[in-house]
């Protein structure tokens, strides 16, 4: 989830070029994110920290599904984000994102998800 059109487009391109990923949807507001997580049950959520609410003031990052891995894609370091306690074990992917850093992050997520599945 990202709120800048060019960043969304770039992330879509990176996702489409990675053979282990299938893009289920994109959201530009928390309302859209809430709807997509309920309807599509994504395994990985790419999330920008600064997202407009879009009408769902009762939904916050702490309500993201437990089964999903959250990758925080942001120019704000996660350590400085005042609501990071709402995110459950996020993985950080700092901006600017390169194809190499994206692929390294995805490989890390896939390895961690496989390791957890074996437990």
The token duo for 83 is 């609501």
As a whole number of angstroms, the distance between CA 116 and CA 16 comes to 25
E strand segments, the chain = 44-47, 69-74, 91-94
pLDDT attached to residue 63: 86
Does the global pTM surpass 0.85? Answer: yes
Per-residue pLDDT of the chain (119 residues; tens, 9 = 90+): 545 778 889 999 999 999 889 999 998 888 889 899 999 999 999 998 777 666 666 778 888 899 999 999 988 888 888 888 888 889 999 999 999 999 999 999 999 999 988 97
pLDDT attached to residue 98: 94
């Amino acid at each position: 989830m990202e709120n800048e059109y060019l960043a969304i487009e770039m992330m879509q391109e990176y996702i489409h070029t990675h053979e282990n990923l299938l893009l289920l949807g994109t959201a530009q507001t928390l309302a859209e994110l809430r709807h997509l997580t309920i309807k599509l049950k994504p395994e990985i959520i790419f999330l920008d920290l600064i997202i407009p609410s879009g009408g769902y003031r009762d939904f916050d990052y702490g309500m993201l599904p437990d089964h999903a891995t959250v990758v925080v894609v942001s120019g704000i370091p996660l350590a400085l984000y005042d609501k990071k306690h709402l995110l459950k074990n996020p993985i950080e992917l700092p901006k600017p994102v390169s194809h190499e850093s994206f692929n390294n992050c995805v490989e890390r997520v896939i390895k961690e998800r496989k390791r957890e599945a074996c437990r």
